[in-house]
């Protein structure tokens, strides 16, 4: 982002006494990255006139100015500085539309388990214009939309709606599908298979060997990714609470090229239908062995040179076999948020946001696998308390033998 600056950018920070050194070190890192990044630090208590000039009333408030425009952030942390730079340098905001009308997840719902408000906040923090879209025969898809997100529909689509999405893609639009298991979509499944060479599996992924602490075998870690800019620097897996298979046929035909983006662990397997949730112990002999594809990316032939696998193809569609992974409950776990945001950034042609986010130091949850919890139990609960007893017993027996 700093490398793409065309003009000088000025950052003015009003700090509290004692914070100058820390803030100077932080901002100096940005200045070393780009000669166009300049900053000034003012003690708020000692510079009331300067603070009044910029309308500053609180410690840490920061003014970012670029090309005659300026904006204010509450504190100069990296996320807020990047957001301010994007806000000032972008000629226009990219519009991300969440489709509704089929029982999709609500990005305005703040409920921890059922809500997806954090998803909206994550997009807005990267300066996207987030809207909701209801497809109608009269209006269709409005102009100016960069990416349409279909997040966890519960009802099938009308054929007219799918054709509207197809026209949107033909005109250069991008679509992200996140489709949960155990919902039947005859029209959508046929549409993805025929138009885009992708098969939605009528199944659920099971992983007994990589169960998380407190989780079941249906909450799976996704460790295997295709070499692709969306996930090029991933260091942690993604957690899918409940996932279906998404298989790319891999046939480059009819102006479409589909390929696998992510797979489950080789020890996982896929069980068909709702059989896996009817009770009883599931067995690998009953399912299809892993690794199972849970995400696919589709490049569509374009008249203009794109960034797809072939020179005449442009990647415009991503299909993920789960939507719960970005609910309020799960979005901050492991690499979940990065996978979603990177996907939207790639589809929205905001590649610089991918690399900038992956360089940030993040605090995340550490999920223990089921086998790891068993080893920790034996180490901490059995062996460690027993060690003094064992040592004491050995010393006692030695002394008794000598005596």
Q: Does 365 fall in a domain?
A: no
Radius of gyration for the alpha carbons in the chain, expressed in angstroms and rounded: 26
Please say which residue of 89, 108, 134 terminates a domain. Answer: 89
CATH number of the domain at 192, please.
Answer: 3.40.50
Look at residue 305 in the predicted model and tell me its pLDDT. 45
Please say which residue of 342, 358, 374 terminates a domain. Answer: 358
Q: Is the domain of 102 the same as that of 203?
A: yes
CATH number of the domain at 25, please.
Answer: 3.40.30.10
pLDDT digits (tens, 9 = 90+) for 170-213: 999 999 999 999 999 999 999 999 999 999 999 999 988 776 65
The Cα–Cα gap between 138 and 154 comes to 24
Per DSSP, the residues of 226-269 read -S-GGGTT--S-EEESS---EEE----BTTEEEEEEEE--TT-E
259 forms beta bridges with 297
Look at residue 66 in the predicted model and tell me its pLDDT. 92
Highest-scoring range by mean pLDDT, 222-226, 274-278, 363-367? 222-226
Look at residue 366 in the predicted model and tell me its pLDDT. 52
Q: Is the domain of 40 the same as that of 146?
A: no
Bridge-based pairing state of the strands 37-43 and 9-15: parallel
Total domains present in the chain:
2
Look at residue 175 in the predicted model and tell me its pLDDT. 97
Q: Does 319 fall in a domain?
A: yes
Q: Is the domain of 46 the same as that of 164?
A: no
The Cα–Cα gap between 352 and 250 comes to 29
Q: Is the domain of 100 the same as that of 84?
A: no
* Cis before 291? omega within 30: yes
Mean of pLDDT over the chain: 84
Look at residue 280 in the predicted model and tell me its pLDDT. 55
Q: Which of 64-78, 250-264, 274-288 has the lowest mean pLDDT?
A: 274-288
Q: Is the domain of 77 the same as that of 107?
A: no
Look at residue 189 in the predicted model and tell me its pLDDT. 96
Per DSSP, the residues of 277-299 read GSSS---GGGSEES--EEEEEEE
Q: Is the domain of 6 the same as that of 110?
A: no
Residues in the chain: 403
The Cα–Cα gap between 141 and 97 comes to 10
Look at residue 319 in the predicted model and tell me its pLDDT. 97
Q: Does 170 fall in a domain?
A: yes
Q: Does 398 fall in a domain?
A: no
Q: Does 259 fall in a domain?
A: yes
Q: Is the domain of 103 the same as that of 81?
A: no
Q: Is the domain of 49 the same as that of 135?
A: no
- Domain span holding position 163: 95-358
Does the structure show a pLDDT above 60 at 306? no
Q: Is the domain of 65 the same as that of 182?
A: no
* pTM of the shown model: 0.77
Q: Is the domain of 72 the same as that of 126?
A: no
Tokens 């945001």 locate to 341
Please say which residue of 61, 89, 117 terminates a domain. Answer: 89
Q: Does 386 fall in a domain?
A: no
Cα 178 to Cα 125, 150, 181, 331: the distances in Å are 21, 6, 10, 14
Q: Is the domain of 80 the same as that of 125?
A: no
- Helix, strand, coil: what percent of the chain each, to 5? 35, 25, 40
Q: Is the domain of 55 the same as that of 154?
A: no
Does the structure show a pLDDT above 70 at 215? no
Look at residue 310 in the predicted model and tell me its pLDDT. 46
Tokens 């879209």 locate to 133
Give the H or E element holding residue 353: helix 351-358
pLDDT confidence tier of residue 400, bands split at 50, 70 and 90: confident
Q: How far is CA 376 from the centre of its chain?
A: 30
Q: How far is CA 379 from the centre of its chain?
A: 35
Q: Greater confidence, 252 or 177? A: 177
Rounded (10°) angle between helices 159-170 and 186-196: 30
Q: Does 363 fall in a domain?
A: no
pLDDT confidence tier of residue 40, bands split at 50, 70 and 90: very high
pLDDT digits (tens, 9 = 90+) for 74-103: 898 887 888 788 888 887 889 999 999 999
pLDDT confidence tier of residue 133, bands split at 50, 70 and 90: very high
Q: Nearest-CA neighbor of 125 among 72, 89, 81, 62?
A: 81
Bridge-based pairing state of the strands 62-66 and 9-15: antiparallel
Look at residue 401 in the predicted model and tell me its pLDDT. 79
Look at residue 186 in the predicted model and tell me its pLDDT. 96
Q: Does 21 fall in a domain?
A: yes
**Once rounded to an integer, what is the mean pLDDT over residues 24-35?**
90
């Amino acid at each position: 982002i700093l490398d793409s600056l065309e003009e000088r950018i000025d950052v003015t920070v009003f700090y509290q006494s004692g914070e100058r050194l820390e803030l100077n070190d932080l901002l100096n890192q940005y200045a070393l990255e780009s000669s166009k990044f300049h900053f000034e630090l003012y003690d708020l208590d000692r510079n009331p006139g300067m603070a009044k000039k910029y309308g500053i009333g609180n410690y840490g408030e920061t003014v970012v100015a670029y090309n005659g425009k300026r904006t204010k952030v509450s504190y100069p942390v990296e996320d807020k500085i990047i957001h301010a730079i994007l806000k000032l340098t972008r000629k226009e905001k990219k519009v991300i539309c969440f489709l509704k009308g089929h029982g999709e997840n609500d990005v305005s719902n703040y409920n921890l388990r059922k809500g997806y408000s954090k998803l909206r906040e994550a997009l807005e923090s990267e300066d996207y214009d987030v809207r909701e879209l209801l497809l109608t025969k009269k209006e269709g898809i409005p102009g100016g939309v960069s990416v349409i997100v279909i997040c966890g529909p519960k009802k099938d689509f009308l054929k007219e709606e799918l054709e509207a999405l197809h026209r949107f893609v033909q005109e250069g639009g991008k679509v992200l599908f996140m489709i949960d298991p155990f919902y039947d979509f005859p029209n959508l499944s046929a549409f993805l298979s025929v138009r885009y060479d992708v098969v939605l599996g009528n199944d659920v992924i099971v992983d007994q060997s990589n169960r998380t602490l407190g989780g079941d075998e249906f909450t799976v870690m996704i460790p295997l990714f295709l070499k692709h800019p969306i996930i090029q620097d991933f260091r942690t897996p993604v957690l899918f609470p409940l996932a279906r298979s998404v298989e790319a046929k891999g046939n480059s035909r009819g102006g479409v090229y589909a390929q696998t983006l992510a797979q489950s662990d080789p020890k996982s397997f896929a069980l068909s239908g709702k059989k896996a949730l009817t009770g009883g112990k599931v067995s690998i002999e009953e399912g299809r062995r892993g690794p199972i594809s849970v995400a696919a990316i589709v490049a569509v032939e374009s008249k203009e040179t794109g960034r797809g696998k072939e020179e005449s193809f442009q990647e415009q569609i991503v299909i993920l076999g789960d939507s719960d992974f970005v609910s309020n409950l799960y979005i901050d776990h492991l690499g979940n948020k990065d996978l979603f945001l990177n996907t939207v950034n790639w589809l929205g042609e905001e590649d610089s946001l991918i690399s900038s986010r992956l360089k940030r130091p993040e605090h995340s949850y550490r999920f223990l696998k089921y086998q790891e919890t068993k080893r920790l139990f034996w180490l901490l609960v059995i062996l460690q308390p027993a060690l003094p007893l064992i040592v004491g017993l050995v010393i006692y027996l030695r002394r008794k033998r000598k005596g």
